[in-house]
């Protein structure tokens, strides 16, 4: 089933994308919740006109995302966590922790746009920040033991 997304849906696509989804997912969830429209000719024309009119705004958003990525640069984020004797951490390093550290450094990034590698012990890991549909930035996480 072809649909036109009205909002960004993680794992499916971005706003104004025409994507193929399973019929039940589109009919029973995306369309009734207002996240998507059926991709018929009239809806395609409406979306094409909206995209044409909003193209300059989209360029500005992309430029802003590139500026944020450049400002973050090769930032290394220290995450302090409780560690057992074997070096394994208790719990997890979450995207919320990364967002909080970024916020303390002056970057206000939504936690939902951060993907953290599976962290199981002390060491160096990476996190991916989805700043824009075309701009993704990796930051280095330095997971260290918290001092009691």
**pLDDT band at residue 148 using 50, 70 and 90 as cut-offs:** low
Segment 79-97 shows an average pLDDT of 87
Position 54 scores a pLDDT of 82
**CA pair distance 68, 35, nearest whole angstrom:** 28
Range list of H helices, 54-133: 55-72, 95-104
Position 85 scores a pLDDT of 84
Structure tokens at 63: 């430029």
List the chain domain ranges.
Answer: 2-68, 72-145
**CA pair distance 51, 17, nearest whole angstrom:** 10
**CA pair distance 76, 84, nearest whole angstrom:** 23
Residue 59: Cβ within 10 Å count? 10
Model pTM score: 0.63
Segment 34-51 shows an average pLDDT of 92
Position 139 scores a pLDDT of 92
Domain with residues 72-145, CATH architecture? Roll (3.10)
Using CA atoms of 22, 25, 133, 37 in order, give the dihedral in degrees to the nearest 10.
100
Position 146 scores a pLDDT of 82
Position 42 scores a pLDDT of 94
Question: Class of 2-68 per CATH?
Answer: alpha beta
Position 10 scores a pLDDT of 87
**CA pair distance 107, 111, nearest whole angstrom:** 11
Q: Which residues contact 4 (CB under 8 A, 6 or more apart)?
A: 16, 17, 18, 36, 37, 38, 39, 43, 44, 47
pLDDT above 70 covers a percentage of the chain that reads 99
């Amino acid at each position: 089933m072809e649909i036109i997304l009205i909002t960004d849906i993680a794992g499916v696509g971005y706003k104004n994308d025409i994507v193929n989804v399973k019929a039940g997912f589109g009919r029973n969830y995306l369309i009734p919740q207002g996240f998507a429209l059926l991709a018929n000719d009239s809806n395609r024309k409406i979306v094409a006109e909206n995209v044409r009119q909003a193209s300059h705004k989209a360029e500005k958003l992309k430029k802003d995302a590139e500026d944020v990525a450049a400002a973050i640069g090769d930032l290394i984020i220290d995450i302090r966590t409780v560690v057992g004797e074997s070096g394994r951490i208790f719990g997890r390093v979450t995207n919320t922790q990364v967002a909080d550290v970024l916020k303390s450094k002056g970057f206000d990034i939504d936690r939902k746009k951060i993907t953290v590698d599976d962290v199981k012990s002390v060491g160096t890991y990476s996190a991916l920040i989805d700043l824009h549909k075309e701009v993704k930035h990796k930051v280095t996480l330095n997971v260290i033991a918290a001092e009691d």
